[in-house]
Amino acid sequence: MKKIMIALLCAGLLLSGCGEQETVDTPSVNSDTYPSVSVSPALEPVAQYLTQAVLDCSAHEALRHIQASDSTEQAYQALLDGSAELLIAYEADLGEEVEWTALGTDALVFAADPNCGADNLSVQQLKDIYAGTVTNWKQVGGKDMEIVIRHRAQGSASRSALERAMTVNAAEGAPDERSGCLYYMTCSEYQSIAEGSLKLLTVDGVQPEENASEYAFPMPYGAALRKSAEQNSEERIVFRWLAAEYSSANFPNSDVQR
């Protein structure tokens, strides 16, 4: 059984919820009444952990209540169209139909071909690369090698976070090109990559796993439900409990069985 550490696999990245909070009893819901939960793909371990905490159940049973999705956009749509009653996802502009409570913070990270010759990029260098004005690793302190951009799918949380942070004009590199590649992803996704296949770059000298408060590209995540949910509905009861119970003091060092 693989253990996934819920500080979102990035120690010290859970920043929210540090103030005084309301105390709410564990929700009186069971496996038959627990709300269906849609989830951003990278946050499935978080949704699983929370479901286990409420139901005091096995990992297998918790997964029965979670709707897997191919993208964060798809997870949001499941909440909005009513096919899911709760959402665990990265923060986005949800409009007036949805209530949101923060649970913690992941990070948008940048990983590159280990042979690119660069270990760090500044925020401005990243903006220049994704704007398409810097195209060679030599321009940012690396080897004389083309920077080959690898984009995520539209609707993914990391693509949306990148586009909010900077102008993205750089085209996707040739699919068969392996050298000089630059990827972006969530920190939790990076942790699942085979060791040595990509190099995690610092940004302005900051390593997201070691100094989260100074990292330039945080990605808050949390829980959401439709505002129209009844006050005594299972999804609102669970939502209130999540808002009250889960903060930076609760997640670190919590294991999820996979």
User: Which tens digit of pLDDT belongs to each residue from 47-56?
Assistant: 999 999 899 9
Higher pLDDT residue, 211 or 67?
Answer: 67
Nearest to 158 by CA among 182, 140, 133, 183: 183
Q: Is 254 a residue whose pLDDT tops 90?
A: no
Residue 104, pLDDT > 90, answer no
Q: Is residue 88 within 8 Å of residue 98, measured between CB atoms?
A: no
Q: 41 near 55, Cβ under 8 Å?
A: no
Percent of the chain with pLDDT over 70: 85
Task: Check residues 251 and 89 and name the one with the higher pLDDT.
Answer: 89
The contacts of residue 54 (CB under 8 Å, 6+ apart) are 26, 27, 29, 34, 238, 241
Q: In this predicted structure, what is the pLDDT of residue 29?
A: 83
178 against 163, higher pLDDT: 163
**Residue 28 pLDDT exceeds 70:** yes
Phi, psi of 155 (to 5 degrees): 95, -10
Buried b (16+ CB within 10 A) or exposed e, 228-244: ebeeebbbbbbbbbbbe
Q: Which residue has the higher pLDDT, 217 or 252?
A: 217
Q: Above 50 in pLDDT, residue 18?
A: no
